[in-house]
Structure 1
Amino acid sequence: MSGLQFAHLIRLSDDTGLHEHADGPLPRREHGYCLDDVARGLVVLNREPGLPADLTALAEDYLAFVSYAQAEDGRFHNRLSPDRRWLDEPGLGDWWGRALWGLGTAAARSTVPAIRRAALECFDRSAHHRPSSVRTMAFAALGATEVLSADPLHASASALLGDITSYIGGPRPDANWPWPENRLFYANAVLPEALIAAGDLLGSDEVRDDGLRLLEWLLTVESRSFHLSPVPTGGWFLGEPRPAFDQQPIEAAAMADACARAYRVTSDPAWLDGVHRSIAWFNGDNDLGSLIHDEQTGGGYDGLTPSGPNINQGAESTLALISTRQHLRTLLRSTA
């Protein structure tokens, strides 16, 4: 049985893909699907140990969606209407990067050989692109990391991961603002995570340590009184008020992923504090003391507003909840 952990993800899914939006716990089918979310779903399903048959079948559906979204030149469509029509032209936005992340994870971790082969073929078809967005490339770099973990000699994954340092750069010399961008935006921890992964897998201590330094600063900036206080949807810079809203679950999930990787790379238990804070944010240890998930449905709430949680339970927030809790049931359990 898949249990409550994945119950709401199943509720949001059908034989086409994953519905993007929800009204409370109910899928808003009229809004259709987006590759961004399906690719994230491919990540969390394929990194779940001992995936049961029903969720393996769901992972196959998600992979079929990603493959269908891929153009011959390796770009991807993102938005699919409820009547299965693409609403955009293939491109290289964040959805391209997340697609490679999902494909790389499936290629490396699926227990089904056919899924691994198909995912790797799709990954290879797209890995030659170099989009302009730093976050898009960082998401793709995490997919390359997965491929390299299974095949350290994989050429296109190695080339893609090797290029991430030129996109992100190292920390700035300003101790108050070492961040490589002029403002914090969204899913911020993916940038240091990509550097940590690249430095670790490609054998560069300098790149790895740059990522660790940026992540340490980010965790400090995104914490208040020892609980996570993510930056709001509009981003943040020094001197702007905190806490600020709306806070998004994707920020907590990115922090959990990055701190979990930092722990695996360094074996320093101090990094587990960032994982704990991210899990606790969903459980009410946040700026308003509010639960950011529905205990009855297993869905994640869509954000933390000044007046409390946004109780809609869409795909992005539910996947953020699942991915963060995966660390509770795997990484943290292994240290007990």
Structure 2
Amino acid sequence: MNGPDFAHLVRLSDDTGLYEHAEGPLPRIEHGYCLDDVARGLVVLSREPHLSAELTALAEQYLAFVAYAQSEDGRFHNRLGPARVWLDEPGLGDWWGRALWGLGTAAARSPVPAVRQAALECFDRGARHRPPSVRTMAFAALGAAEVLAADPVHAPAAELLGDITSYVGAPRPDENWPWPENRLFYANAVLPEALIAAGDLLSDDKIRDDGLRLLDWLLAVESTDFHLSPVPAGGWSLGESRPAFDQQPIEAAAMADACARAYRITADPRWLAGVRRSIAWFNGDNDLGTVMHDEQTGGGYDGLTPDGPNINQGAESTLALISTMQHLRTLLESTG
């Protein structure tokens, strides 16, 4: 695979949003939609430098879904049933964080002025909240970083991004386990990436260096024989066996994002190793030596099990594939 393929993302989408689940490559319409995935879709489409008219329209459709999911007080619904009825109450779960990530990215990068303005208004409405979860906050911080990079005096984004340090905390003094949690869970690299972004944009070298230290440790822990070996869906801590399964594409995607940011900020070529390993994980350089995407459909497989890939091609895994393959540009730019 030479770059992001959006064909399966289009296949999973309709005039409402993005279907969450698939059986093989076919959308499971009966399971409906979730904001989590639509917001991630908005992230990957917004950060593409050149979108076709079809994909530009899809990005606007995703933005409309995110805006529809937002309540007047800035919280969000997450699950929309196939009958287009919300199945939950507005809240501050991971979907809130990913919604702000998507909105911030659209506000900063969309080529359409009306999209940028609408996305920023929704971002500002949501940015007043502070969630209970560190990962939720980290996802939101990435959206705040996008807004702040585009507008360095945007106060709500600066305040939200500045608060990430109180959620993550400093690395522990234990060299074997500097991670601020007792266990690795999911999308782990989003925590150091948020710190790196905050330190960079808020001109705080200590916060940036704390994030780089955590990312360096995480890349080492999630690598085996120079290939990526992500922690499993159930998490991992010292003393537990590796490799472990089921490995989730979101873990490789989070690593690619964090290492690409670290490279852009430091120009240190060691971070390119993390980007390469993440891309290679999808292309078969993983614990089972199996390709983690369908070259014909453009879909990402839902996980790496002890017996091989789960060949269902749902939204989360496909977006993780697209997100990771977007960083091929980082590798190409690094080699001139």
Q: TM-score, normalised by structure 1?
A: 0.98
2:19 and 2:7 map into 1 onto residues whose CA distance is: 14
Tell me if the contact between 2:4 and 2:326 (Cα under 8 Å) persists in the aligned partners.
no
1:4 Cα shift? Answer: 7.3
Do structure 1's residue 335 and structure 2's residue 334 form an aligned pair? yes
1:98 and 1:221 map into 2 onto residues whose CA distance is: 26
Tell me if the contact between 2:42 and 2:106 (Cα under 8 Å) persists in the aligned partners.
yes
Tell me if the contact between 1:4 and 1:297 (Cα under 8 Å) persists in the aligned partners.
no
1:52 Cα shift? Answer: 1.1
Tell me if the contact between 2:37 and 2:316 (Cα under 8 Å) persists in the aligned partners.
yes
Spell out the pairing of 1:91-106 with structure 2 (5 A cutoff).
Answer: 91-106=91-106
Do structure 1's residue 158 and structure 2's residue 147 form an aligned pair? no
1:4 and 1:265 map into 2 onto residues whose CA distance is: 23
1:223 and 1:80 map into 2 onto residues whose CA distance is: 37
RMSD: 0.8
Spell out the pairing of 1:10-21 with structure 2 (5 A cutoff).
Answer: 10-21=10-21
Deviations 1:281-314 (A, max 9, x none): 0000000001100011000000000000000000
Counterpart position of 2:299: 299
Spell out the pairing of 1:198-217 with structure 2 (5 A cutoff).
Answer: 198-217=198-217
Deviations 1:114-161 (A, max 9, x none): 000000000000101001100000000000000001100000000000
Gaps of 5+ in 1: none
Counterpart position of 1:171: 171
* One-letter code aligned to 1:26: L
1:250 and 1:305 map into 2 onto residues whose CA distance is: 14
1:23 and 1:4 map into 2 onto residues whose CA distance is: 22
Q: Aligned with 2:139: secondary structure?
A: helix
2:98 and 2:112 map into 1 onto residues whose CA distance is: 21
Say if 1:132 and 1:318 are closer, same or farther in 2 by CA, change over 3 A.
Answer: same
1:270 Cα shift? Answer: 1.1
Q: Aligned with 1:304: secondary structure?
A: strand
Q: Aligned with 1:5: secondary structure?
A: coil
1:333 Cα shift? Answer: 1.5
Spell out the pairing of 1:221-300 with structure 2 (5 A cutoff).
Answer: 221-300=221-300
Q: Aligned with 2:231: secondary structure?
A: coil
Do structure 1's residue 137 and structure 2's residue 137 form an aligned pair? yes
1:278 Cα shift? Answer: 0.1
Tell me if the contact between 2:284 and 2:290 (Cα under 8 Å) persists in the aligned partners.
yes
Deviations 1:176-235 (A, max 9, x none): 000000100000000000000000000000000000000000000001111000000000
Counterpart position of 1:9: 9
1:166 and 1:65 map into 2 onto residues whose CA distance is: 31
* One-letter code aligned to 2:290: S
Q: Aligned with 1:285: secondary structure?
A: coil
Counterpart position of 2:32: 32
Deviations 1:251-285 (A, max 9, x none): 00000000000000101111000000000000000
Counterpart position of 1:309: 309
1:88 and 1:256 map into 2 onto residues whose CA distance is: 32
* One-letter code aligned to 2:90: P
Tell me if the contact between 2:46 and 2:110 (Cα under 8 Å) persists in the aligned partners.
yes
2:232 and 2:5 map into 1 onto residues whose CA distance is: 26
Counterpart position of 2:323: 323
Counterpart position of 2:57: 57
Q: Aligned with 2:235: secondary structure?
A: coil
Tell me if the contact between 2:32 and 2:81 (Cα under 8 Å) persists in the aligned partners.
yes
1:29 Cα shift? Answer: 0.4
* One-letter code aligned to 1:121: E
1:333 and 1:110 map into 2 onto residues whose CA distance is: 23
Tell me if the contact between 1:233 and 1:245 (Cα under 8 Å) persists in the aligned partners.
yes
* One-letter code aligned to 2:320: A
2:156 and 2:182 map into 1 onto residues whose CA distance is: 31
Q: Provide the identity percentage.
A: 83
Tell me if the contact between 1:33 and 1:80 (Cα under 8 Å) persists in the aligned partners.
yes
Q: TM-score, normalised by structure 2?
A: 0.98
1:332 and 1:324 map into 2 onto residues whose CA distance is: 12
2:85 and 2:6 map into 1 onto residues whose CA distance is: 27
1:17 and 1:143 map into 2 onto residues whose CA distance is: 20
Runs of 4+ that moved beyond 6 A? none
Spell out the pairing of 1:103-118 with structure 2 (5 A cutoff).
Answer: 103-118=103-118
Do structure 1's residue 47 and structure 2's residue 37 form an aligned pair? no
1:218 and 1:173 map into 2 onto residues whose CA distance is: 15
* One-letter code aligned to 1:245: F
2:58 and 2:124 map into 1 onto residues whose CA distance is: 23
* One-letter code aligned to 2:263: Y
1:331 Cα shift? Answer: 1.2
Gaps of 5+ in 2: none
